[in-house]
Amino acid sequence: MNYLFTNLIGSFVLDQNLKIIDQIPFKSLAEYAQSKEAESKLKKKHPQLQMLPQDKLPQVLTLFKEKKYFKEFHDKNIALTQEAVKDSVSNDNFIIQAIANIAELDKACNLLSKRLREWYCWYAPEISEKITNHEQFADAIIQKSKKELLAEFKIKESMGAEMEKIHVDEILLLAKQVSQLYHLRQQHEQYLEHIMKKYCPNLLELAGTTIGAKLMELSRGLKHLALLPASTIQLLGAEKALFRHITSGSKSPKYGVLFAHPLIQKARKEERGKAARMLADKLSLCARLDYFKGEFKAKEYKKELEEKFR
Amino acid sequence: MNYLFTNLIGSFVLDQNLKIIDQIPFKSLAEYAQSKEAESKLKKKHPQLQMLPQDKLPQVLTLFKEKKYFKEFHDKNIALTQEAVKDSVSNDNFIIQAIANIAELDKACNLLSKRLREWYCWYAPEISEKITNHEQFADAIIQKSKKELLAEFKIKESMGAEMEKIHVDEILLLAKQVSQLYHLRQQHEQYLEHIMKKYCPNLLELAGTTIGAKLMELSRGLKHLALLPASTIQLLGAEKALFRHITSGSKSPKYGVLFAHPLIQKARKEERGKAARMLADKLSLCARLDYFKGEFKAKEYKKELEEKFR
């Protein structure tokens, strides 16, 4: 009775005493991937070939502890791991990185916008008061001079100092940088929409770009999101409040990142919890449809929800 | 006996019963600034004119509580304040804003650089390991393709995934932004050096751009810095440690922002406290020289200190 045994470096035929009597070595990982072929070749050559029974495995493994095999095992294992690592990069990763960077850009934008306002206030404090949106403020002071801006808001004279060009230029350099950061943020959103449209169209349709991506970030990918119960999806992003609820008995949270969803924003206050629950329900379905490559049903769901909470 | 009284709206001659018998109204703030002229004119016209004694002031002030003066007082006061606010903007403010923004840019750069590295690691993790400097890392991945970089560091194969161009482009957009933020930081430093060279050459020479500007930020301007005792300058930026020392008796700090000064960095550890004290001493002199427009002596001081702590 002979045994068949296959590992990374080849297919082997062993006799009853577990000596190697025949083998087909694998030259590359591609051959290892096609190991069935090698096995069937050996099976034809040696009739009555059996798979190695479990209890004999430890003995066989000691066979391969010989030094001559070491390098091959090492190299092939590394290569195998490399391939696995490479293949592990999926759309999930891109989406998670992009949405995380959007959050980080927001932080940077706020930080620099505040400084920009404070700095520009030495020059024309009135403008900062008139334009509350950070992005619009940066764009406005880039595009228009102090005079033009004052005229636009019908301010006769500014309290700000007359500055030499060198000082104003320095402020405008910062303004340009802030404006570019906001543009990058927009670009990231478009990019997100582009990949989500292919990868998870249902989720994108019902949750929108930002919320959809945030859900994927919090659940570490579409697969995990699809496997989560709807009640967990409802509370993703509200972990702190949830644990506060569990430990100190404060009110349980009704929604996490879903709070920003238009459906919940538009719902009456007393119905928001219910809306969040139903939205999470449908989002869970969407994630599953997307993960298992199902049909595009999000539009129907959306309509259904919108009719319910008009 | 007649009295002379001058306020924002004019110079007035009052008789013994404190009735206005003559006046020169000021049409503008400029005339108010030249009020001495109006007063001397009135003095010529009315001999034996006295300044209003203190005890009669309250009575005169009630005179001006009439409604007809209100608008003029209001407008002129506002204009006066506006001018004062305008004039209060000095080089101090520019320096403080610029150095504060450098600190903020550093924060933003670090935040986005970390994200950039993490994101790029899906593509070619080896490069992030090889280039530890954030700025160089961003520049490298902008200028060179993954292939070129791998060849440069003699890495045969990357563990990173093969990405489509759309994904790589998104990472590179972030890299460009990071690189620009670093450039803006450099630009700010040059700007700082430029204005400090004119405004506080001694401080600039001895402290360097960043430390000099930080000292001015912490002391809220050159004037205050010039008035601070050297021992306070020595500890600027170490307030936390100082108060910890006072309240809980931990070791007293030896230096604040001065720690980063090359003189202290190069000094032997046991001499650092002494070096900081002497440096603060000279910096205090520099700030005074600069504030009171003295000579340029910082080079001598610098040489002196360098010889002492070689």
Shortest distance between the Cα of B108 and any Cα of chain A, in A, equals: 5
Give the CA diameter of chain A: 104
Q: Are A99 and A217 in contact (CB under 8 A)?
A: yes
| Residue among A160, A151, A61 nearest A119 (CA) | A160
Contacts of A98 in chain B (CB under 8 A): 170
Q: Which residues of A156-173 are buried (b: 16+ CB within 10 A; e: fewer)?
A: eebbbbebeeebbebbbb
Question: Residue B131 and residue B138: Cα distance in Å, rounded?
Answer: 9
Q: Are A200 and A194 in contact (CB under 8 A)?
A: no
Question: Considering only alpha carbons, which residue of chain B is nearest residue A119?
Answer: B97
φ, ψ (nearest 5 deg) of residue B236: -55, 130
Question: Residue B89 and residue B102: Cα distance in Å, rounded?
Answer: 20
CB-nearest partner of B101 from A85, A115, A163: A115
Q: Choose, out of A101, A123, A146, A188, the residue to mutate when testing the contact with B (most B CBs < 10 Å).
A: A101
Q: Which residues of A187-219 are buried (b: 16+ CB within 10 A; e: fewer)?
A: ebbebbeebbeebbbbbbbbbbbbbbbbbbbbb
Q: What is the pLDDT along chain B (310 residues), one digit of tens a residue?
A: 788 888 888 888 888 888 888 888 888 888 888 888 888 888 888 888 888 888 888 888 888 888 888 888 888 888 888 888 878 778 888 999 999 999 999 999 999 999 999 999 999 989 999 999 999 999 999 999 999 999 999 888 888 888 889 999 999 999 999 999 999 999 999 999 999 999 999 999 999 999 999 999 999 999 999 999 999 999 999 999 999 999 998 888 999 999 999 999 988 888 899 999 999 999 999 999 999 998 999 999 999 999 988 7
CA A285 remoteness from chain centre: 19
Question: Considering only alpha carbons, which residue of chain A is nearest residue B111?
Answer: A104
Q: What is the pLDDT along chain A (310 residues), one digit of tens a residue?
A: 788 888 888 888 888 888 888 888 888 888 888 888 888 888 888 888 888 888 888 888 888 888 888 888 888 888 888 888 888 788 888 999 999 999 999 999 999 999 999 999 999 989 999 999 999 999 999 999 999 999 999 888 888 888 889 999 999 999 999 999 999 999 999 999 999 999 999 999 999 999 999 999 999 999 999 999 999 999 999 999 999 999 998 898 999 999 999 999 988 888 899 999 999 999 999 999 999 998 999 999 999 999 988 7
Contacts of B100 in chain A (CB under 8 A): 115
Question: Residue A120 and residue A150: Cα distance in Å, rounded?
Answer: 13
CB-nearest partner of B82 from A88, A159, A187: A159
Q: Is B155 exposed, middle or buried (0-12, 13-18, 19+ CB in 10 A)?
A: middle
Question: Considering only alpha carbons, which residue of chain A is nearest residue B107?
Answer: A108
With CB atoms and an 8 Å threshold, state whether A161 touches B86: yes
CB-nearest partner of B177 from A94, A107, A184: A184
Neighbour tally for B190: CB within 10 Å: 10
Question: Residue A212 and residue B51: Cα distance in Å, rounded?
Answer: 78
φ, ψ (nearest 5 deg) of residue A22: -155, 155
pTM, 2 dp: 0.80
Residues 6 or more apart whose Cβ sits within 8 Å of residue B150? B124, B126, B127, B156, B157, B158
Question: Residue B224 and residue B290: Cα distance in Å, rounded?
Answer: 12
With CB atoms and an 8 Å threshold, state whether B188 touches A170: yes
Residues 6 or more apart whose Cβ sits within 8 Å of residue A49? A2, A3, A4, A13, A42, A43
Q: What is the ipTM of this complex?
A: 0.79
User: pLDDT per residue over B278-303, tens digit each?
Assistant: 999 999 999 999 999 989 999 999 99
Question: Residue B298 and residue B275: Cα distance in Å, rounded?
Answer: 16
B13 in helix, strand or coil?
A: strand
